[in-house]
Amino acid sequence: MEPSWMNNHLSKRLLILLAGLMLSGCMVSREISDVRRDIEKEFPGAEFDKEFVISVGPGFFNTVGWLAERVDDYDARRIADYLNEIRRVKVGVYRTEQLPYEGDLELESLRRFNENGWELAVKVRDDDEMVWVLYREWYDEVRDMFILVLDDENLVIVRVEGYLNRLLEKIVEDETYATRLFD
C-alpha cells in the first residue's frame, strides 16, 4: 500500500496536468487586439480601452468534452457532444473611449475581412448600436463567424470557429426531441 502523501502528490500532479490541458487553449488573443487596432486605424479618432480579451482553444473544448463524456449524466453528455463541434472561441470586450466618427462605419470593408474570404451576413445600424455578423463557409458549412457590436459604451468582438451548422442541428434536434417527449 502506498503512503497517503504519495496519493496527495499524485492527485496534485493529476490536477496540474488537467488544468494545463484545459488551459492550453486559454490565452489572450492577438487577433482580437489586431481587429481593434484595425478599427482604430481605419476610423481615425476612434479609441477603445481593453476590458478583457480571451481565447479558448481546442485544448479546452477537447478536455472539457472528454470529461463531460465520462460523467454519468445525460445533459453532460449532450454538452460534450456540442463541445466536439466547437474549435475555438475568442472574445474581446473594450470600453469605447472615443467614437467621433459620425458617418458609416463599414467594418466589413476592413482589409482583414475583405481579403480573407469573409462575407457580410448582417449589418444593423441602430440609433445607438451597430452590429456586424461576418462568416466564412467551408465545404458548405459555416465554419467561422465574427460578431462585432459597437456602441457608445463598448466594442465587443467575438469569433467562433467550429462546425456551426452541425452544432445548431444537434441543439435543435435535442430540443425538438425533448419538446415532443414532454408534450
**Alpha-carbon gap, residue 32 to 17, rounded angstroms:** 28
Task: Closer to other proteins by CB, 53 or 150: give it.
Answer: 150
As given in the structure block, the three cell numbers for residue 152 are 457608445
Contact predicate 94/50, CB 8 Å = yes
Q: Which of 49, 51, 106, 129 binds other proteins (CB under 8 A)?
A: 106
Question: Considering the rule CB under 8 A, would residue 176 count as an interface residue with other proteins?
Answer: yes
Identify which of residues 8 and 116 has a Cβ nearer to other proteins in the complex.
116
Nearest to 22 by CA among 71, 57, 69, 48: 57
Helix (H) or strand (E) segment spanning residue 21? helix 4-23
Q: Which stretch binds other proteins (CB under 8 A): 2-10, 73-81, 149-157, 170-178?
A: 170-178
Interface map 124-163 toward other proteins (x if CB under 8 A): xxx--------xxxxxxxx---------------------
Total residues belonging to the chain: 183
Site for other proteins contains 53 (CB under 8 A): no
Structural contact between residues 141 and 166, judged by C-beta atoms closer than 8 angstroms: yes
Task: Report the interface residues with other proteins, using CB under 8 A.
Answer: 104, 106, 116-117, 119-126, 135-142, 164-165, 168-169, 172, 175-176
